[in-house]
Each structure stands twice: as C-alpha cells, then as structure tokens.
Amino acid sequence: MIQETIVITQNSSGKAHIAPMGVHVISRDGVYATSQSGTGVAISRDGVYAASQPGADTAPSESQDEFIILPFRPSTTLNNLLESKSAVINYCDDVRVFAGCLAGRRDWPLKSAEKINGQVLDCALAHTEVELTHFEDDETRPKLFCKAVHTVNHSPFRGFNRAQYSVLEAAILISRLDRLPLEKIQAEIDYLRIGLEKTAGNRELEAWSWLMTIIENHTENRQESAAVKTEIRP
C-alpha cells in the first residue's frame, strides 16, 4: 500500500521544506509493496495502524516501522534528508496542503517535532518522526530508507471523502505536467471532477481551484510558445 503524505525536511540552516510524497512502509516480513504509480508506499510492520487517543504515542511495536521515501531528482527533500538524516512524515486530510505545495503555497503553520530536530504540520492528524538508516542511489529516483523513532496522533481520522481523492489524484497528475501528455491529464481531470463536484467541502474546492489555475497557466504557456514557433517559421 502507498500512503500519500506530507514530508517535512530541514536544511543545515534549519529552514523547513514541505513536499507531498508517497511513502513505502516495510511490513514485518521485510517485504514492501510497490505501486503502478510509483509514487511511494508506507505499510506498518503489522500492516495496521493501531488506534490511539489523540496526542498519545504509538505502541512500541509501531515505532519500529520502516519507510522508503523516493524523491525524483532534483529534489530539495532528497538533499535535506541526506544532510540532516531525519524527516517528519505527516498524515494530513487537508488536501489544500498537497495542492498548495504544487501551487507555490508552502507557508503552512508548523510546530516543533518532539524527538528529532524537525517540524510538524499544525494540521496533521498524526505524524511520524523518522531517521535515515541507509540510501540506495539512483540517477532518477534514489531510495531513502528510514526508521520511525516517534509517532503521535493529534486528531481522529474522519473517514474517506471522494473529493479529497480527486484533489490528490489531480495533484499527482499536475506534478507530472512535464512528463505526461496534456490530453491524458485533461481526460483524467474531467473524470475526477465528477467526484469532486458531488462531495467537496470548502477546503477541497479551494485546493481544486489552485490546481486548475496551474493547468490553465500551463496550457496558455504551451499555446503561446506554439504561436511563437509558428511565427518564426519561414
């Protein structure tokens, strides 16, 4: 299973960097799942996240979870993690943070991590503080193997929402604007809009509007550069 999370890292000056990342979680038998999308996975050692009271630490077995973070090069997350050897994985249902990071809105309220030198999203439902254990280099997408050192629940999970799924999927497509055909992205967005329009709240609508602005700007830029190419053709 892949867990879509917000990973927060810090550079050597302590400047926090927020990025949506799919994170792989290694299961108890040491096997980790991979996904078609290749975005990343997180699976707890016993395959289940134990329910605990908000603010309570996780059970000791859970604190042994291992994660793999897979940033595409070039990546600030990659540079920071290699430098500081730690990160915070935030579990968050405010999809504005996912969409906002892609739209240049990275200024989300943060608070200090508890066991590592790091920052936690104020709106996270839960977070896990991790340390880098080892690194598998790759020219496209290195693997950063991390172990959990501390997990905290802040608020209860309130169930699934289709509009949140639509925003997440649209955000992933938009993070690949330069790698996927625009027609494919438009077709998938049209499908995702159905669930969004039926089930969104204000947060989801705001996040969606930021993502649509990115696509509009991208389409306009592409049309402008196509027009310039036509003009200079003899």
Ligand X SMILES: Cc1cc2nc3c(=O)[nH]c(=O)nc-3n(C[C@H](O)[C@H](O)[C@H](O)COP(=O)(O)O)c2cc1C
Instruction: State the minimum distance, in angstroms, from the CB of residue 170 to ligand X.
Output: 9
What's the full length of the chain, in residues? Answer: 234
Distance between CA 118 and CA 129 in Å, rounded?
Answer: 8
Instruction: State the minimum distance, in angstroms, from the CB of residue 133 to ligand X.
Output: 18
Instruction: State the minimum distance, in angstroms, from the CB of residue 25 to ligand X.
Output: 13
Site residue total, ligand X (CB under 6 A): 18
Instruction: State the minimum distance, in angstroms, from the CB of residue 216 to ligand X.
Output: 18
Site string for ligand X, 174-193 (x = CB under 6 A): -x------------------
20 binds ligand X (CB under 6 A): yes
Closer to ligand X by CB, 200 or 211: give it. 211
Closer to ligand X by CB, 58 or 121: give it. 121
Given 92, 146, 168, 185, the residue binding ligand X (CB under 6 A): 168
Q: Find the binding residues for ligand X in span 64-123 (CB under 6 A).
A: 70-72, 75-77, 98
**Token pair listed for 68:** 């793999």
In terms of C-beta density within 10 A (0-12 exposed, 13-18 middle, 19 or more buried), how is residue 67 classed?
buried
DSSP string, the chain: -EEEEEEEEE-TT--EEEEEEEEEEE-TTS-----SS-S-----TTSSPPP--TTPBPPTTGGG-EEEE-PPSS-HHHHHHHHHSEEEEEE---HHHHHHHHTT-----EEE-SSSS-EEETT-SEEEEEEEEEEE--SS--EEEEEEEEEEE-S------HHHHHHHHHHHHHHTTTTS-HHHHHHHHHHHHHHHHHH--HHHHHHHHHHHHHHHHHHHHHHHHHHHHHHH--
Closer to ligand X by CB, 35 or 117: give it. 35
Instruction: State the minimum distance, in angstroms, from the CB of residue 159 to ligand X.
Output: 19
Closer to ligand X by CB, 35 or 223: give it. 35
Given 171, 200, 207, 214, the residue binding ligand X (CB under 6 A): 171
Stretch that binds ligand X, among 18-26, 42-50, 153-161, 197-205 (CB under 6 A): 18-26
25 binds ligand X (CB under 6 A): no
The contact set with ligand X (CB under 6 A) reads 4, 19-22, 39-40, 70-72, 75-77, 98, 168, 171-172, 175
